[in-house]
Amino acid sequence: MDNNPVPQPLTGLRVVEFTHMVMGPTCGMVLADMGAEVIKVEPIDGDRTRRLLGAGAGFFPMFNRNKLSIGIDLHKPEGVAVARRLAASADVVAENFKPGTMEKYGLDYAALSAVNAKLIYASHKGFLPGPYDHRTALDEVVQMMGGLAYMTGRPGDPLRAGTSVNDIMGGLFGAIAVLGALIQRGITGRGMALQSALFENNVFLMGQHMLQFAMTGKHPAPMPARDNPWAVYDVFTAKDGEQIFLAAVSDAQWSTFCDVLGFADLKADAALATNNQRVPQRPMLLKTIGERLAHRSAAELSELMERAGLPFAPIRKPEDLYDDPHLLATGGLADVRLPDGPMAGQTVKTTLFPITMDGQRLGVRLDPPTLGEHTQDLLAGIGYSAVQIEDLRAQAIVA
């Protein structure tokens, strides 16, 4: 018997999510990973992220583990009735559809809280209420209008971040708000509506640069052209074209950096003694160091940096992380069975929520569900008879 089970602090909490793509499903995934029963309500033909190709191929299996699936046709009155009945059984309802969608089906907070005053209702939108809230938002849209693409790309070449930053963090902020609302409900006995939004999430990420401008009066430069506060803080090309990031962010680190790499002449140069002396000479210094490292392998440099306790990072691709020794040793990757696509039924590794609770990672209890995998049990649990369920299936009201 396991004397130290993985913590599931949200066991007993029922979450019904009307979500798609990344933002809303991320909120549900966080709550599910912590033990909540999360029910994913899908269209009758399934969440369309099940069928995405290319960069979207990993969306569904990544953000929908530990969930139950039911397919409901909300375009039919009978389907709406099923959805309302299911939502009435929830502690939390989460959604991320455009404004007005949930009201159209009577699945908005006002309608549902009239039946269940304890309901916590988490909306994930493009914008918080205001002049922009009618706009259609995507992660890329808010990165462009919210400064992130400007800060990421080279001058004159805005570039979105290489992952769904705002979608994922918007879902995380939604989950944080849900946890706060649960504590408040425990005190007052009442639920509340809460909202997370892509644009405001992106602006929060830009806060440090906004304050940089407010404090210095200087426009923050994009990261590739920023005024770097450290002289050695860059990517270097090593032997055979391999790349590695190296840094020395203090004078003590600079001294050690020179020692381990055999740069006695640079260490002895009084004009390079302090970081603030080195920064103005950064272009020359980077060129010199780059030339001296070009014949050394990234593996050799990594070993030297690690032994000396200096910051370093080999440049890796996403697929390289499957072989990362730290992730493998610490259980940072877990098996999931793919529910859809040409590899349906096969097992692959996925990343876990990046926290420990009681010293343990929160694992995969349920594989990402197939469409309607739990419809029968869920409908029976809210009072539908076997005959009624069969009739709903026959009419294509549920899947």
What does the block give as tokens for 273? 């003694």
**Per-residue b/e over 264-297, b at no fewer than 16 CB within 10 Å?**
eebbeeeebeebeebbeebeebbeebeeebeebe
**What string of pLDDT tens digits covers the 399 residues of the chain?**
346 789 999 999 999 999 999 999 999 999 999 999 999 999 999 999 999 999 999 999 999 999 999 999 999 999 999 999 999 999 999 999 999 999 999 999 999 999 999 999 999 999 999 999 999 999 999 999 999 999 999 999 999 999 999 999 999 999 999 999 999 999 999 999 999 999 999 999 999 999 999 999 999 999 999 888 899 999 999 999 999 999 999 999 999 999 999 999 999 999 999 999 999 999 999 999 999 999 999 999 999 999 999 999 999 999 999 999 999 999 999 999 999 999 999 999 999 999 999 999 999 999 999 999 999 999 999 999 999 999 999 999 999
Question: What domains lie within the chain, and their CATH numbers?
Answer: 14-206+331-394 (3.40.50.10540), 228-318 (3.30.1540.10)
**What residue has token string 């007052």?**
188
For residue 375, the model assigns a pLDDT of 98
Query: Which spans in the chain are helix H?
Result: 23-33, 59-63, 77-88, 101-104, 109-115, 139-145, 148-152, 165-188, 198-216, 251-261, 264-268, 275-278, 282-293, 298-308, 325-330, 375-381, 386-394
Which of 33, 139, 167, 340 is an active site residue? 167
**What residue has token string 């009084």?**
270
pTM assigned to the model: 0.94
Quote the CA–CA distance of 152 and 206 in Å, as a whole number.
11
Quote the CA–CA distance of 16 and 44 in Å, as a whole number.
16
167 given a catalytic annotation: yes
